[in-house]
Amino acid sequence: MMGMKALLVPALVSLLLAGCAAKPSAEDARKFIESAEADLLKLANEASQAQWVQSNFITTDTEAIAARANERFIQAGVKYAKEAARFDGVNAPEDVLRKLKLLKVALTLPAPSDPKKSAEAARLAASLEAAYGKGKYCPGGDQSKCLNIDEITRIMAACRDPKRLLEVWEGWHAVGAPMKEDYKKLIELSNEGARELAFPDTGALWRSKYDMPPDDFAKEVDRLWEQVRPLYEQLHAYARWKLREAYGPQVVPEKGPVPAHLFGNIWAQQWDNLYPILAPKDADPGYDLTSILKARKTDAAAMVRYGEGFFTSLGFAPLPKTFWERSLLTRPRDREVVCHASAWDVDNVDDLRIKMCIEINEDDFSTIHHELGHNFYQRAYNRQPYLFRDSANDGFHEAIGDTVALSITPEYLVKLGLLAKAPDPAKDIGLLLRRALDKVAFLPFGLLIDQWRWKVFRGEITPEQYNKAWWDLRLKYQGMIPPSARPETAFDPGAKYHVPANVPYTRYFLAHILQFQFHKGLSEAAGCKEPLHRCSIYGNEAAGSRLRAALEMGMSRPWPEALEKLAGARQMDGSAIRSYFAPLEEWLKKQNEGKPVGW
């Protein structure tokens, strides 16, 4: 057996030599990036193939195969992110430096390098996501009457009994309490990992993805909210007095915040299920797209052809033959599948697919256009190096799909031959209100989740304050309060999937801002003279050229450059959403005359 001194001497020599070793060169950085990109592309494709099979053939075995492939890809991402830090300060070409940064900020859970702590972080992350997935509300503890989140979602959408809504709301929110201690520990470990990557905390790492200093990005988000807040306040005031009419003064106050269980959604994040209560008189738009599609005996493939035709009218190449061979368009009769609509780029080149159990109705007509927006974006940037094959920032991908859906106007339907002529715009208030209950109502919720997490990550909100701070922010931004007193042990953030699953959320807020800015910029390029909500870029080469130029950039350049190509400006701008909903905002102001606005 060697003595301790004999063991220590070689170790000390190694440390001294390491300290004297030359710093990595620009060539070292380039070789590292080339190797990392090749490995990550291979692992990403393997994970995509496994996930496709798992989603389309749900068995214990396919789930295990997909989990292993995904784990290999994630582990490689963590490894390369940590290794990229070695090249800090290297004077390398701009594209190499950008790729090094993208590797580092790609992580959402930067586990510590200590193997035990890293394993603990992985265990906690898996445990929290599983706890949410298994979450149920069992009235009176009766296991035979348990409700999962899908069943609760349906109740919240359709029920108009405030007592029943309260019962279900409280039942679901109880799933968060057991997560609190694990969440606290995960925050500690994640922050430790972020500090190893030279970020002060995980929130700063998340905000560093946006090509500006983290604190500047936080200010940018606040600025955007202030631009759209007046429109939200008018919608909130209108919803408050209409809900008061429906439920009575004992349930809904005349002024101030509104109990959060009354908005048709367990998180009150979108209010479109309230449309029957809030709809104005004479809200009939003058046509029923679902009935038109069914009368024409439109099938699932024809629905997708309409969406493809939108993009080819703009100058994009048709979808590849393999898209039609490999996509899932209808629910199979012989097996269970994950039917949630999604767009896939399985090989990161041109193996594009969608997975969707298409119903012949207006909603799915719009969703198809949205999902194909992802596919055409994916193919547009497929000539970029692997690390640049993504949207300009994480809000862009969702925004592009939604931008395309905004062009599904009566005028577009006329060009497709689905309508004989566009109805009078005087009937558009109902259409605008329905869309605002989806898009505008979401804005403060899309903002506040990460406002809460950023404060948690930097220690401004302590575990003892988790729940109180959550409701303070929901009051500040949404004008909502919990429908009943919340116990100190509650952890209501855990009742929203993205919190226990550690999924950043600001991207959804940005997407809701950007889609209207994109739509406005492209409509102007198309020379549209109609009100913004009636503009469609279908068939316009100028708008198509502008859109392709932005999409082809992928993530190769800072996002303001892509924004400039799309919208003619380098700064995100919430005024476009105000322009789109301008007729509705004026209508809301008239409806709210003499009634309190704000809370």
Distance CA 38, CA 506 (A): 30
Mean pLDDT of 320-347: 90
Does residue 10 surpass a pLDDT of 60?
no
138's tokens: 């069992």
> How would DSSP label each residue in 242-262?
HHHHHH-TTTS-SSS-EEGGG
Same domain as 522, residue 378: yes
pLDDT band at 7 (very low <50, low <70, confident <90, very high): very low
In this prediction, residue 313 carries a pLDDT of 97
> How would DSSP label each residue in 311-351?
HHTTTPPPPPHHHHHH-B-S--SSS----S-EEEETTSSS-
pLDDT band at 21 (very low <50, low <70, confident <90, very high): low
In this prediction, residue 9 carries a pLDDT of 44
pLDDT band at 471 (very low <50, low <70, confident <90, very high): very high
Whether 341 is catalytic is: yes
- Active-site residue, selected from the candidate residues 498, 501, 561, 564: 498
170's tokens: 């409280």
In a domain, 217, yes or no: yes
In a domain, 4, yes or no: no
Same domain as 577, residue 530: yes
- Active-site residue, selected from the candidate residues 287, 508, 538, 580: 508
Whether 238 is catalytic is: no
CATH of the domain at 244: 1.10.1370.10
- Active-site residue, selected from the candidate residues 47, 371, 377, 386: 371
Does residue 70 surpass a pLDDT of 90?
no
- Active-site residue, selected from the candidate residues 173, 236, 261, 374: 374
Does residue 572 surpass a pLDDT of 70?
yes
pLDDT band at 443 (very low <50, low <70, confident <90, very high): very high
Same domain as 45, residue 94: yes
In this prediction, residue 226 carries a pLDDT of 97
- Active-site residue, selected from the candidate residues 21, 22, 94, 340: 340
- Map 118-180 to HEC letters: HHHHHHHHHHHHHHHHCCCECHHHCHHHCECHHHHHHHHHHCCCHHHHHHHHHHHHHHHHHHH
Does residue 274 surpass a pLDDT of 70?
yes
Mean pLDDT of 45-74: 88
Same domain as 169, residue 214: yes
E strands, 387-499, where?
480-481
In this prediction, residue 215 carries a pLDDT of 94
**What percent of the chain clears pLDDT 90, i.e. is strictly above it?**
79
Domain boundary among 105, 137, 170: 105
Number of domains in the chain: 3
In a domain, 429, yes or no: no
- Active-site residue, selected from the candidate residues 192, 308, 398, 585: 398
Same domain as 320, residue 261: no
pLDDT band at 580 (very low <50, low <70, confident <90, very high): very high
Same domain as 480, residue 367: no
pLDDT band at 62 (very low <50, low <70, confident <90, very high): confident
Q: Crossing angle for the helix pair 26-56 and 94-105, nearest 10 degrees?
A: 50
114's tokens: 């200590």
Instruction: Convert the pLDDT of each residue in 277-316 to its tens digit.
Output: 999 987 878 889 999 999 999 999 999 999 999 999 999 9
In a domain, 354, yes or no: yes
Distance CA 153, CA 139 (A): 16
Coil/strand/helix, residue 488: coil
Same domain as 266, residue 388: no
Domain boundary among 450, 469, 504: 504
Provide the domain limits for residue 260: 119-284+440-504
Mean pLDDT of 241-268: 96
Mean pLDDT of 369-390: 96
- Active-site residue, selected from the candidate residues 236, 261, 369, 370: 370
> How would DSSP label each residue in 359-404?
-SSHHHHHHHHHHHHHHHHHHHTTTS-GGG-S-SSTTHHHHHHHHH
In a domain, 190, yes or no: yes
Instruction: Convert the pLDDT of each residue in 427-437 to its tens digit.
Output: 899 999 999 99
Mean pLDDT of 24-51: 94
Same domain as 128, residue 220: yes
In this prediction, residue 49 carries a pLDDT of 94
Same domain as 234, residue 151: yes
Does residue 18 surpass a pLDDT of 70?
no
pTM of the model: 0.91
- Active-site residue, selected from the candidate residues 279, 283, 341, 582: 341
In this prediction, residue 94 carries a pLDDT of 95
Same domain as 451, residue 371: no
Strands 352-355 and 258-259: unpaired
Largest CA distance in the chain: 93
In this prediction, residue 4 carries a pLDDT of 39
Domain boundary among 54, 76, 105: 105
Instruction: Convert the pLDDT of each residue in 118-157 to its tens digit.
Output: 889 888 988 898 888 889 999 988 888 999 988 999 999 9
In a domain, 278, yes or no: yes
Whether 340 is catalytic is: yes
pLDDT band at 6 (very low <50, low <70, confident <90, very high): very low
In this prediction, residue 20 carries a pLDDT of 46
Distance CA 460, CA 469 (A): 10
Does residue 344 surpass a pLDDT of 50?
yes
Q: What backbone torsions phi and psi does residue 314 show, to the nearest 5 degrees? A: -95, 0
In this prediction, residue 75 carries a pLDDT of 85
In a domain, 29, yes or no: yes
In this prediction, residue 302 carries a pLDDT of 97
Whether 370 is catalytic is: yes
pLDDT band at 252 (very low <50, low <70, confident <90, very high): very high
Same domain as 488, residue 365: no
Coil/strand/helix, residue 480: strand
In a domain, 598, yes or no: no
Same domain as 207, residue 62: no
